[in-house]
Amino acid sequence: MSNDLGRVEDLPADYYNGLRARNTMPLWPSLRAALPYGKPARSTAPTLWRYQELRPDLMRAGELTPIEKAERRVLVLCNPGLGLEQLKATPSIYIGMQLILPGETAPNHLHTPSAVRFVVEGEGGYTIVRGEKLPMHRGDLILTPPGLWHQHGHEGTGPVVWLDALDLPVVLGLEASYCTEGAPQTVADSDNASNRRFRRAGVLPYGTLDRSRDDYPMLRFPWAQVREALQDLAGVTGRGDPVHLAYINPETGRECMPTLGFSALMLRPGEELRMRRRSASAVLHVVEGAVTAFVDDTRHAMEPADTLACPTHAVTCLANASATQPAFLFMVDDAPLQRKLGFYEQCG
């Protein structure tokens, strides 16, 4: 254990330059930056994006850029600590706000990054994933897993906005991100079929027991069902314990996507929650109510549809700012990826 490792300046210049010329580097001058003691080095800034500030810019994008010129009309929430050009909310999580206007369609494609949509505003939007037409109501979570065809449309009036969450930074880091364009899909499954197959916890379609598992058996998680489940859970959860539900694959009981995790939290009126400190980075999004979030030494007053980036290992406290109304949050984190990599931890 040493904080006193040799530096580049300690080496003869001709030796160091020769190493570089042969595409090699000494490890020891960089070792402590790569492996700091006790806690990782973090550049991610706890950052709040207020929907009321972002919305006019998004609507203006609707006037400035026709959908044909955008393919997907999105403003990306970029963490200033990581550099805006990186398109990262946290080191692993991409977050965008996507606008689709009445009558518009966003073309069919598939890609290697995993994506989900979480609906923020408007009625009449839909996504077709793997031949299933999925209606989009406020708060619904819709999965577009890697390699599944997806296209969007809007049959209603007024703007539709949703939050996109992708593991794009990870897949880009692997130099493995690409997409394939396709002809429009034919709808082969009835409206919302996969959610109706797996509607109730504790019971599964019988045939599930006899066949090998589907990687992504359920593609839509309606907010109305999740909200009701949170209220049921609140009734059997002590105050101070989190009323927190994970979105899962109903066949495996595990996370519903390979790299990013999705969950919903309810804060009862007046409730203050000290979250366990976790190694995962996260993004919080207010669905309903007013929440004061404390992340490390920062404080953020959050309104509906506001979004907040939380670094790895952050100390996070959440307080419902109302003494009479519950508050609801949607959370994205990279815990599934960290579990697969074998180092996910929570403490405190």
Q: Which is nearer to ligand 1HN, 143 or 280 (CB)?
A: 143
Q: Which is nearer to ligand 1HN, 74 or 82 (CB)?
A: 74
> Could you tell me which residues come within 8 angstroms of residue 56 by beta carbon, excluding any fewer than 6 positions away?
none
**128 with 151: CB under 8 angstroms?**
yes
Instruction: Single out the residue of 91, 96, 222, 326 in contact with ligand 1HN (rule: CB under 6 A).
Output: 96
Separation between Cα atoms, residue 64 and residue 32, nearest integer Å: 48
Q: Does 164 bind ligand 1HN (CB under 6 A)?
A: yes
| Residue least distant from ligand 1HN (Cβ) | 72
Q: Which is nearer to ligand 1HN, 129 or 327 (CB)?
A: 129
Encoded tokens for 96: 């965008």
Instruction: Single out the residue of 168, 171, 273, 287 in contact with ligand 1HN (rule: CB under 6 A).
Output: 168
Q: Which is nearer to ligand 1HN, 116 or 275 (CB)?
A: 116
Partnered with residue 333 across adjacent β-strands are 261, 282
- Mask of contacts with ligand 1HN, 123-152, x by CB under 6 A? ---------------------------x-x
The dihedrals phi and psi of 90, each to the nearest 5 degrees, come to: -135, 175
- Min dist CB 209 to ligand 1HN, Å, is 34
> Could you tell me which residues come within 8 angstroms of residue 273 by beta carbon, excluding any fewer than 6 positions away?
240, 242, 265, 267, 317, 318, 319
Q: Does 166 bind ligand 1HN (CB under 6 A)?
A: yes
Task: Tell the burial category of 119 from Cβ atoms under 10 Å away from its Cβ (0-12, 13-18, 19+).
Answer: buried
Number of residues in contact with ligand 1HN under rule CB under 6 A: 13
Q: Which is nearer to ligand 1HN, 166 or 331 (CB)?
A: 166
- Min dist CB 169 to ligand 1HN, Å, is 10
* Residue-wise DSSP of 140-153: -EEEE-TT--EEEE
Separation between Cα atoms, residue 291 and residue 330, nearest integer Å: 12
**Which window, 161-169, 223-231, 235-243, 332-340, contacts ligand 1HN (CB under 6 A)?**
161-169
Q: Which is nearer to ligand 1HN, 55 or 111 (CB)?
A: 111
What's the DSSP call for residue 189? B
Rule CB under 6 A: which of 49-78 touch ligand 1HN?
Answer: 72, 74
Q: Which is nearer to ligand 1HN, 55 or 227 (CB)?
A: 55
**Which window, 53-61, 108-116, 196-204, 316-324, contacts ligand 1HN (CB under 6 A)?**
108-116
Rule CB under 6 A: which of 218-257 touch ligand 1HN?
Answer: none
- Binding region for ligand 1HN (CB under 6 A): 72, 74, 96, 98, 106, 111, 113, 115, 150, 152, 164, 166, 168
